[in-house]
Amino acid sequence: MKRPAKVEEVVGVACMVVLVLLTLGNVLTRYFTDASFAWTEEISIFLIVVMTLAGAASIAARDGHIRIEFLYDGGSARRRRMLRLVSAIATTLLFAVLAGLFGVTLADEIKWGETSMGLGVPRWWFTAPIPLFCAAIAWRAGVAGWHVWREPASPDPVVALDP
Amino acid sequence: MIGTLLFVVFIALMLAGAPIGVALGIGGIAAIAAANVDVPWWGLFAAPQNMHASIAKYPLLALPMFVLVGSIFDRSGVARRMVTFAEACVGRAPGTLPMVAILVAMVLGGISGSGPANAAAVGGVMIAAMAKAGYPAAFSASVVGAAAATDILIPPSIAFIVYSVNVPGASVPALFAAGMVPGILAGLALIVPAVLISRRHGFGESERSRARPPFWHSLGAASWGLAAPVLILGGMRVGWFTPTEAAVVAVAYGLFIGIAIHRSIGWRDLYPIFREATEVSAVIMLVLALAGIFAYAVNTLGIADPVVAAVKNLGLGSTGTLILLFVVMTVLGMVLDGVSIFLVFLPLLYPLMIAFAWDPVWFGVLLTMKIAIGQFTPPMAVNLMVACRLAQVRMEQTLPWIGWMIVSFVVATLLVLFIPELALWLPRRLGY
């Protein structure tokens, strides 16, 4: 299915690319020099978290997260529409709450000036994108739900792959 | 009371079709809030903390990297060359093509860590070849879907990485080594029914008249791909790289083969490859993150203890309890994917494992074999779904064939259950 690239999608893919390059750089520098590249570990962890949430937002936009599909896609059109609405509301609600909680965590970290264990930079640098992307997931799921609400005959969602 | 709330909310949301991660997260948050009504903010800051802590782990980096390896090797053109080489080895007769499909899936299992990627790579080549040789499409889809399930047993494996980051005392290298023998056993267990069914129905009779591919030439063409598992597994074994680094080296190697040697990957394919890997990883890791909230709620509210005590009091003993677990998880595996089930039950499985003093590595292998069976047991069978899509058959049409594969795979699992050494011998021998 052709779909326009979303900001979150591009951010997620960019994180993946940087993760590959950082780790590859680690292997190479370790073999060709004595220099340690280990300080990148904190950045890699940060990128894993951002990649997860950004990727999750782009999948939420097309309602592709894993669920019990045969219940979700079965039954009458009316029932399917109901389940899509419930699912969208639940997702939006959860990630709105999480965005709020992460937001407060972020505010506390800025207030107390905590620094990170590895690089010694302010902790909040790493936390800052988290509430943002949680809000993005809530937003994307909410918009998907809004489309279902507006037009009852929405197409079936794309089935996501998992391991 | 709060325990009931946790599970009622979780199950109700699951039945309403909410994404599994969302059901886990809301269930967990509701239980945390209900348990802390008199605490400021209802103790809810445990939710973001545990969610973050569940994925902010360096060893978890191996997961997206091995998903990416799967996406790359799926398109690198190695599967086709391996198939030709395998045909040169086993010859052409009824039942040899399914055998080739299973063997190639096993070798690819030594490169990629995810079942659906394996099913796509093997199915992309084998389903057309088997159709031309006169195998029914539904039978081919069954063989490919089942064969791809060996992928998560044969190292590297995404299921083992998820298990390792959640279970103390089971390192990724130990699990990888432990999966090797059971993975090969499972592959052999699939070859037996596939060959017997083909012979019995005379599938692939027309193959006899076709020439066997030349051995040395096809070995040469397949050598780039065949070197990949040696590089990945050997590199980890001799300590050149950690599992994560091995995955990244495999990414670079796979891109090199695909772009420069087999020329099956163009620069334009790179974005879709990375996007697919990012999204597949994000789906798994989001469940992992939100399962962290659920696990925290189950652990701190003391929900696990009475359940574990009740299971122990059934008096089934160690083996009986394992078989009970197996049956319960297989039934649930019909509606949910395996890694999610494992994450939901982890807070209960871990104390059970301690209570019965099960070896964490062996238990991990058993759980992974169970997940593997779920990957090709309809209706919720991710590998079979991919294979059916490639073969253009409906999943119901595979029912006459897939049952035999499932039975055979279950027998292999029972062997590992009754003879733990099958899993534990290799990691001990290698000193993990």
Which of B14, B26, B276, B279 to substitute to test the interface with A, most A CBs within 10 Å?
B279
Q: Which of A26, A46, A84 sits opposite B245 (nearest CB)?
A: A26
Kindly state the average pLDDT of the residues A113-122.
83
A1 pLDDT tier (thresholds 50, 70, 90) = very low
AA identity, residue B333: G
Q: Which of B22, B45, B55 sits opposite A101 (nearest CB)?
A: B45
**Percent share of chain A, pLDDT over 90:** 53
Contacts of A130 in chain B (CB under 8 A): 48, 52
Interchain proximity B58–A105, CB inside 8 Å = no
Contacts of A49 in chain B (CB under 8 A): 52, 55-56
Q: Which of B18, B58, B285 sits opposite A52 (nearest CB)?
A: B285
Q: Which of A15, A23, A160 sits opposite B248 (nearest CB)?
A: A23
pLDDT at res. A153: 56
Interchain proximity A66–B19, CB inside 8 Å = yes
Going from N- to C-terminal start, the domains of chain B cover 60-429
Interchain proximity A162–B58, CB inside 8 Å = no
A37 pLDDT tier (thresholds 50, 70, 90) = low
Interchain proximity B58–A91, CB inside 8 Å = no
Contacts of A103 in chain B (CB under 8 A): none
Q: Which of B20, B58, B274 sits opposite A67 (nearest CB)?
A: B20
Q: What is the 3-state secondary structure (H, E, C) of chain B?
A: CHHHHHHHHHHHHHHCCCCHHHHHHHHHHHHHHHHCCCCHHHHCCHHHHHHHHHHCCHHHHHHHHHHHHHHHHHHCCHHHHHHHHHHHHHCCCCCHHHHHHHHHHHHHHCCCCCHHHHHHHHHHHHHHHHHHCCCCHHHHHHHHHHHHHHHHCCCCCHHHHHHHHHCCCCCHHHHHHHHHHHHHHHHHHHHHHHHHHHHHHCCCHHHHHCCCCCHHHHHHHHHHHHHHHHHHHHHHHCCCCCHHHHHHHHHHHHHHHHHHHCCCCCHHHHHHHHHHHHHHHHHHHHHHHHHHHHHHHHHHCCCHHHHHHHHHHCCCHHHHHHHHHHHHHHHHHCCCCHHHHHHHHHHHHHHHHHHCCCCHHHHHHHHHHHHHHHCCCCCCCHHHHHHHHHHCCCHHHHHHHHHHHHHHHHHHHHHHHHCCHHHHHHHHHHCC
pLDDT at res. A160: 44
Interchain proximity A20–B281, CB inside 8 Å = no
Which of A1, A8, A16 to substitute to test the interface with B, most B CBs within 10 Å?
A16
Interchain proximity B286–A56, CB inside 8 Å = yes
pTM: 0.90
The closest of B260, B257, B290, B254 to B274, measured between CA atoms, is: B254
Contacts of A129 in chain B (CB under 8 A): none
β partners of residue A122: A115
Distance from CA of A69 to the nearest CA of B (A): 7
* Residue of higher predicted confidence among A48 and A75: A48
Interchain proximity B48–A91, CB inside 8 Å = no
How far is Cα B327 from Cα B255, in angstroms, rounded to an integer? 41
ipTM of the complex: 0.89
Interchain proximity B283–A59, CB inside 8 Å = yes
Contacts of B289 in chain A (CB under 8 A): 52
A162 pLDDT tier (thresholds 50, 70, 90) = very low
A158 pLDDT tier (thresholds 50, 70, 90) = very low
Kindly state the average pLDDT of the residues A69-94.
88
Contacts of A162 in chain B (CB under 8 A): 116, 280, 283-284, 337, 339-340, 382
- Interface A-B, measured as beta-carbon pairs within 8 A, has a size of 199
Interchain proximity A16–B281, CB inside 8 Å = yes
Distance from CA of B67 to the nearest CA of A (A): 8
DSSP state, residue A163: -
Distance from CA of B58 to the nearest CA of A (A): 6
φ and ψ at residue B67, rounded to 5 degrees:
-65, -40
β partners of residue A115: A122
Does the pLDDT value for residue A3 go beyond 70? no
Interchain proximity A161–B116, CB inside 8 Å = yes
For residue A122, the SS3 value is strand
Contacts of B336 in chain A (CB under 8 A): 68
Q: Which of B19, B68, B380 sits opposite A16 (nearest CB)?
A: B68
* DSSP-assigned states of every residue in A53-94: HHHHHHHHHTT-S---HHHHS-S-HHHHHHHHHHHHHHHHHH
Contacts of B390 in chain A (CB under 8 A): none
AA identity, residue B109: G
pLDDT at res. B25: 96
pLDDT at res. B99: 95
Distance from CA of A41 to the nearest CA of B (A): 7
Does the pLDDT value for residue A76 go beyond 80? yes
pLDDT in tens, chain B (432 residues): 788 889 899 999 998 989 999 999 999 999 999 998 888 889 899 999 999 999 999 989 999 999 999 999 988 889 999 999 999 999 888 899 999 999 999 999 999 888 888 999 999 999 999 998 999 999 999 999 999 999 999 999 999 999 999 998 899 999 999 999 999 999 999 999 999 999 999 898 888 888 889 999 999 999 999 999 999 888 888 888 888 889 999 999 999 999 999 999 999 999 999 999 999 999 999 999 999 999 999 988 888 888 888 888 888 889 999 999 888 888 887 777 778 888 888 888 999 999 999 999 999 999 999 989 988 998 878 899 899 999 999 998 999 999 999 999 999 999 999 999 999 999 999 888
Structure tokens at B387: 């294979």
Q: Which of A70, A87, A102 sits opposite B48 (nearest CB)?
A: A102
pLDDT at res. A163: 41
pLDDT at res. B31: 93
Q: Which of A9, A51, A87 sits opposite B17 (nearest CB)?
A: A87
